[in-house]
Structure 1
C-alpha cells in the first residue's frame, strides 16, 4: 500500500488516509463523529490550491479533444439545433457536476462512482491514441505537399505524395513513449511540461479560431436541423466534450477554500460552454459538410497549421498522463498492497503498462476518431455526467424531504441521459460496424485489382 507521505509528495494526490482504498480515492468523506476511527485529513487546507489555480485546472480538464470534435457534433444536430442543444447540455452537465460534489460528501458506497470514473478516464485515453495517430499521420502524409501559403482548405483530405502507414501503426509507435510518460508517478515532475502543453494548446486554439472565422463562406447554406438518426452521435460527442467531470471531485477536495468551489465551477464551466458553442458553430460554418472528426484535420497544408496540429498533439500527449492518473490512483494502490514491499515498484509499473496497452488495443480496434468519441461519450460520460448524479441525490437525500419538483427534475435528467446512452451507443456501434465493413470491402477490391 502506498504510504500517505508518498501520496502527499504528489501535487495532484487524490488520497488522504493512512490506508487509502479505492472507495475513498476520489470521493473522500468529511470527518464526523460517526466515523471516529478514521484519521481523515482534507487534502485542501493550508496547502490547497487557490481560486485561480483551481479555475485553471478546471479549464484544462475540459479543453481537449472533445472541443475539437464539436464542429462535427453541430453538423450532426444542425446549425441552429446544435448550438441550442450544446447550451442546454452545458447547463445540465454543470448542474450534475454540482450534484456530484454535494453527494460525494454524504455517500458511503462509492464503488459505482469510481467505476464510471475509471471507464470514462480510460475512454479518454483511447481517444487520445486515435487523435495523436490521425493528426501526426496527416502531417507526415502532407509533408511533401506542405507550402508556406495557407490557402483555404474546405476538405479534410491532404495531398499525399508518398503514402504513409496505417493510423494503427502510428498508435503502436506512440505506445512506448506513453508508457514511459505514465511511469512518472510524481506529477510535480510533469508540471513544466503541463505548463508548456497549456501554452501550446492555447496558441493552437487561437489560430484555429482565427482561420475558421476568416474563412466562413458567404452565403452560408447549411441545414438548420440535422437528420434525426445523427442526433444520437451529437449527444455522444457533446457529452464527451465535458470531459472534466472526472477531475471535479479531486479539484474540490484539494481546494484551499472548498466552499468557493461552486463559484469556480460556474465561472469555469461558463467559459468552457462558451468555447464549445462558439468553436462548434464557427467550425461547422467554415468547413460545412466536409468537417472531420477533429477540426484540426481540416486545416490547410501550410507549415503554420501543420505546426498547430503538432502543438495540440503535444498538449494531448501530456494530458494523457493527467487523465491516466485518476484510474491509476483508484486501481493500483489496492493491488500493490497485496505484494511484498520488494516488488511494489515493479508491480506498479507493470500495472501501468498493462493499462496503457489496454487503452491502445481498444483504440486500434476502433480507429475512427468521431465514432470512438461518440461511443465513449454515450457509454461512460452519459452515466457519470447525466444519469448518476441526479439518482445519487435522490438516494442520498431520500430521508431529507426532497420536494416533488426536485424529484421530477432529477428523474427527467436521468431519463434523458439513459435515452442518450442507449441510442448513442447503438448508433455508434452500428456506424463502427458499417464503416469497418466498408473498409474491408475497399481493401479486398484493391487486392483483387492488383
Structure 2
C-alpha cells in the first residue's frame, strides 16, 4: 500500500522517542508493541494524520447506513437480547481491531518494515505457522485477503450509491406534501420523478471528483464536516424517538431464533469500519497513539449503536421499517435528516473507497513509467467508481 515511509536508525527513516533502558533490551513481543513502536512518521508531514484526524476518520468509517437499520435489527433480536448482543459484538470487534494492529506492529518490528497492510499481516502470519502447507501457500493468504477487502469495501460503496439515490428521490417526490407541521402523518402523497438509476448517474461525476483526493489528511476536513452534518441528523432522530415512548411491555424480550440471523447480519454490516483500521494506523504521525484512538472511537460508536437501536424500537415498536428515517414525520425538519445523512454518506464513500484503491491503484501504476503514473491513477479510480455505480 502507498503509505508514508518511516524513519529508522539505520537509514535515517525512524525517530524513536525515549524509552526505558529495560524496554530497549526486550525482544518486543506482540503484547509490548506500545513500547516498541514509539516513532513518528517524519518524512512527509503533509501525508501524516494527527490523532484527532484519525479519530474523525474512524468515526466516519463506522457510522454509516447501518446505524439507521439497527432499530429493525433490535426488533429481530428482542428488546433485551438485541442490546446485549450489540455490546458483545462491539467488544469482539474492538478486540479484533486491536489484535490486527498488534500483529501488524509485531511484524514491522521483527522485519524492520515501515508498514504492514492486511495482506502482509496474513502472509507473514502464515509463514510463521507450524503447518508446512500454510507456510508454502502464504502468498495465497495475501491474495485472498486482498480480494475480500476489495469486495467488501466496494460493496459498501455500492450500498452508498443506492442510499444516496433513494433518499434524495424520496425527498424530491414528497416535496409537494411536505409541510412545516411535524405531527406524525402516515399519508404521504408522492410525485413521481425520474428513476433511481438516473439519480445514481447524477451522483457519479461528483463521486469521481471526490475520490481524486488521495491524501487522507486533506480528506479529514471533509470527513469532519460530514461527521457534523450526520451528527445533526442523528440528534434530530434522537430528539424525536426519545419523546412519547409507549409502554414497552408488549415488545418481545427475546425474539424467535428464526429472526436472530437477520439481527446478526444487520449488526455486522453496521460494524463496517474494520477495513479502514490499518490504513488509518499506517497514516498516523505518532502511531503509538492509535490504541487510545481506537478504544475511544469504538466506545462512542458502540454506545451510539445500542442507544439508536433500542430507542428506535421502543418508540416505533413493530412498525419500525428498514431505515428509521422512513418512520419520521413528513415535515421539512425531519426531511432534512435525510439530506444531512446523505451528505455524510457521500463523504464516507471516499473513505471506504480508499481501502480498495490502496490495493488496486499501486498494482496498476507499477506497470507504467513515471510520467503516466498520475494519469493511470486517476483513470483507475474513475473506472472503479463507475463499476460500483453499475453494480
> What's the TM-score bracket when you normalise by the shorter of the two chains?
0.7 to 0.9
Counterpart of 1:420? none
Counterpart of 1:80? 80
Backbone CA RMSD of aligned residues = 2.7
Aligned mates of 1:99, 1:337 — CA distance in 2: 31
Aligned mates of 2:61, 2:320 — CA distance in 1: 25
Aligned mates of 2:216, 2:290 — CA distance in 1: 22
2:315 matches 1:286: yes
2:164 matches 1:132: yes
2:100 matches 1:100: yes
2:196 matches 1:167: yes
1:222-271 deviation digits (Å, cap 9, x = unpaired): 22222322222211211111111122112223334433322322222122
- For 1:277, what is the secondary structure of its paired residue? helix
Return closer, same or farther for 1:180/1:45 CA change in 2, 3 Å cut-off: closer
- For 1:69, what is the secondary structure of its paired residue? helix
Worse-matched range after superposition: 285-294 or 90-99: 285-294
Return closer, same or farther for 1:139/1:220 CA change in 2, 3 Å cut-off: farther
Counterpart of 2:115? none
Tell me if structure 2 keeps the 8 A contact 1:45–1:257.
Answer: no
TM score, norm. by length of structure 1: 0.66
Counterpart of 2:150? 118
Tell me if structure 1 keeps the 8 A contact 2:164–2:342.
Answer: yes
Tell me if structure 1 keeps the 8 A contact 2:4–2:282.
Answer: no
Aligned mates of 1:239, 1:347 — CA distance in 2: 35
Counterpart of 1:180? 209
Tell me if structure 2 keeps the 8 A contact 1:182–1:352.
Answer: yes
Runs (5+) with no aligned partner, structure 1: 1-6, 8-12, 18-31, 33-41, 363-450
Counterpart of 2:60? 60
2:132 matches 1:143: no
Runs (5+) with no aligned partner, structure 2: 7-26, 28-38, 108-120, 125-137
2:33 matches 1:44: no
1:70-95 deviation digits (Å, cap 9, x = unpaired): 11111221211111111111111111
Counterpart of 1:324? 353
Tell me if structure 1 keeps the 8 A contact 2:5–2:41.
Answer: no
Tell me if structure 2 keeps the 8 A contact 1:117–1:327.
Answer: yes
Aligned mates of 1:54, 1:254 — CA distance in 2: 8
Tell me how far 1:189 sits from its aligned partner.
Answer: 4.6
Tell me if structure 2 keeps the 8 A contact 1:140–1:164.
Answer: yes
Return closer, same or farther for 1:219/1:102 CA change in 2, 3 Å cut-off: closer
Aligned mates of 1:169, 1:215 — CA distance in 2: 39
Counterpart of 1:431? none
Counterpart of 1:336? 365
Tell me if structure 1 keeps the 8 A contact 2:56–2:223.
Answer: no
- For 2:250, what is the secondary structure of its paired residue? coil
Q: Which residues of 2 match residues 205-354 of structure 1 at below 5 A?
A: 205-219=234-248, 221-354=250-383
Return closer, same or farther for 1:183/1:57 CA change in 2, 3 Å cut-off: closer
Give aligned pairs, total. Answer: 327
Tell me if structure 1 keeps the 8 A contact 2:169–2:193.
Answer: yes
Worse-matched range after superposition: 100-109 or 83-92: 100-109
Aligned mates of 1:326, 1:276 — CA distance in 2: 24
Tell me how far 1:220 sits from its aligned partner.
Answer: 5.0
TM score, norm. by length of structure 2: 0.76
Q: Which residues of 2 match residues 361-372 of structure 1 at below 5 A?
A: 361-362=390-391
Tell me how far 1:112 sits from its aligned partner.
Answer: 3.9
Aligned mates of 1:245, 1:206 — CA distance in 2: 25
Tell me how far 1:43 sits from its aligned partner.
Answer: 6.9
2:46 matches 1:14: no
Return closer, same or farther for 1:259/1:43 CA change in 2, 3 Å cut-off: closer
Aligned mates of 1:226, 1:219 — CA distance in 2: 14
Aligned mates of 1:258, 1:207 — CA distance in 2: 35
Aligned mates of 1:71, 1:275 — CA distance in 2: 12
Return closer, same or farther for 1:80/1:143 CA change in 2, 3 Å cut-off: same
Tell me if structure 2 keeps the 8 A contact 1:135–1:297.
Answer: no
